[in-house]
């Protein structure tokens, strides 16, 4: 088919889920012998949370793979290493350290605070080495490159500072 | 968990060197994972096979403009040959070679699409598979898995062209 707005050729693959009405499993009201949902006491429980064991209605149950979770447990486990299925973002310490070292060189801030930047970068690399929790494979190359850059930067800055100090002393002595 | 994902596609070469706009698409056991790197943070979006309603792809002319990005410096590289010394010739030759190779690689990567995935609660562009070859590979490998997860016969799926 052709898009009515931009006239480009469009191919759309519709799956059966497209036809599914998401309101087709409304929460049933609780009857005499039924267990109610923990969060909606007027709704009949349809599942049990695999983490805390609370009864859940169809509104509250959240299915990830073969497990059922309640909204409370998802919120509590969002950033725990044991439940990577709930990770929605992670801090990239390797990129932070590398960019910090690289941008300080690029911006010229290196001349003023090169040693500080190098120390912060190395600190980030040490801190993030075991704490960076990406859920997909990521090589440690950026950590190594960032660390080397920061180390060279730090040593260079100290050498530069010593050279300045030495030159300054010589000039003062000559004067 | 790390071992359970297989990389399907990654954003193109020129975006890979810019840390702000890298993205990659992974295949999990029962879902697709779109990872987007925003400089210092990596964000993840999951699309469970059972929830995917539509995957739409619209042909775009972006690939021509993407090739022109390399064509312009390629043409300007020839200006180095105005200077009549070996240094200029060498610089001109190297830049012609680099930008020429990037231009050809961009053309060889093929036409571009704008690909969108839709579920009941979200609509997201799948930038990593927006080149024709990657999109075709994605369709070949992943669409049957989505169908299988939705427990229906392939004939029940409607492909609108």
pLDDT digit string, tens, across residues A5-64? 777 788 888 888 887 766 556 778 888 788 899 998 888 888 999 999 999 988 888 887
* CB-neighbour burial class of residue A105 (10 A; exposed 0-12, middle 13-18, buried 19+): middle
Provide the 8-state DSSP code for A101: H
Q: Is B28 on the interface with A (CB under 8 A)?
A: no
Neighbours of B152 (CB within 10 A): 14
> Distance between CA atoms of B130 and B133, rounded to whole angstroms?
9
pLDDT band with cut points at 50, 70 and 90 for residue B2: low
CA distance A75 to chain B (A): 16
CA distance B47 to chain A (A): 11
A121 against A110, higher pLDDT: A121
Give every CB contact of residue A82 below 8 A, 6+ residues apart in sequence: none
Nearest chain A alpha carbon to B160 = A12
Backbone phi, psi, residue A92, to 5°: -100, 95
Please tell me the predicted confidence (pLDDT) of residue A151: 92
Average pLDDT, chain A: 86
A104 against B17, higher pLDDT: A104
Q: Is pLDDT of A109 > 90?
A: no
Residues A92-102 have pLDDT tens digits of 998 889 888 88
**Complex ipTM:** 0.77
A97: nearest Cα among A154, A19, A166: A154
Q: Which residues of B52-87 are buried (b: 16+ CB within 10 A; e: fewer)?
A: bbbbbbbbbeebeebbeebbeebeebeebeeeeeee
Cα diameter, chain B: 70
pLDDT band with cut points at 50, 70 and 90 for residue A162: very high
Please tell me the predicted confidence (pLDDT) of residue A53: 92
Q: What does the block give as tokens for B131?
A: 């080149």
**Among B53, B55, B115, B121, which would you mutate to test the A interface (most chain A Cβ atoms within 10 Å of its Cβ)?**
B53
Please tell me the predicted confidence (pLDDT) of residue B40: 85
Please tell me the predicted confidence (pLDDT) of residue B154: 44
**Among A3, A10, A17, A95, which would you mutate to test the B interface (most chain B Cβ atoms within 10 Å of its Cβ)?**
A17
Element (H, E) at B144: helix B132-149
Cα diameter, chain A: 101
Q: What does the block give as tokens for B86?
A: 């070996």
Residues A124-136 have pLDDT tens digits of 999 999 888 888 8
């Amino acid at each position: 088919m052709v898009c009515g707005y931009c006239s480009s050729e469009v191919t759309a693959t519709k799956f059966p889920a497209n036809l599914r009405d998401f309101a087709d499993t409304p929460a049933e009201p609780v009857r005499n012998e039924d267990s109610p949902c923990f969060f909606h006491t007027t709704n009949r429980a349809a599942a049990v949370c695999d983490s805390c064991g609370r009864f859940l209605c169809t509104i509250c149950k959240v299915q990830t793979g073969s497990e059922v979770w309640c909204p409370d447990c998802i919120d509590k486990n969002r950033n725990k290493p044991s439940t990577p299925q709930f990770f929605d973002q992670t801090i990239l310490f390797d990129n932070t350290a590398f960019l910090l070292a690289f941008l300080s060189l690029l911006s010229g801030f290196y001349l003023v605070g090169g040693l500080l930047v190098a120390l912060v970068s190395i600190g980030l690399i040490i801190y993030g080495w075991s704490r960076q929790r990406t859920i997909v494979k990521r090589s440690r190359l950026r950590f190594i490159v960032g660390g080397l850059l920061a180390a060279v930067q730090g040593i260079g800055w100290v050498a530069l500072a010593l050279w300045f100090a030495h030159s300054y002393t010589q000039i003062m002595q000559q004067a | 968990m790390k071992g359970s994902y297989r990389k399907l596609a990654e954003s193109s070469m020129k975006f890979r060197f810019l840390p702000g706009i890298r993205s990659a698409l992974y295949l999990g056991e029962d879902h697709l994972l779109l990872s987007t790197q925003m400089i210092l943070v990596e964000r993840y979006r999951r699309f469970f096979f059972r929830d995917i309603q539509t995957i739409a792809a619209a042909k775009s002319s972006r690939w021509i403009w993407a090739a022109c990005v390399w064509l312009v410096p390629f043409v300007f590289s020839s200006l180095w040959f105005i200077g009549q010394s070996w240094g200029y010739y060498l610089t001109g030759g190297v830049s012609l070679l680099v930008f020429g190779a990037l231009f050809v690689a961009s053309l060889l990567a093929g036409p571009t699409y704008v690909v969108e995935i839709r579920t009941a609660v979200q609509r997201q562009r799948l930038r990593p598979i927006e080149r024709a070859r990657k999109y075709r590979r994605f369709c070949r490998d992943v669409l049957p898995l989505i169908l299988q997860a939705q427990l229906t016969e392939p004939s029940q799926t409607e492909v609108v062209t």
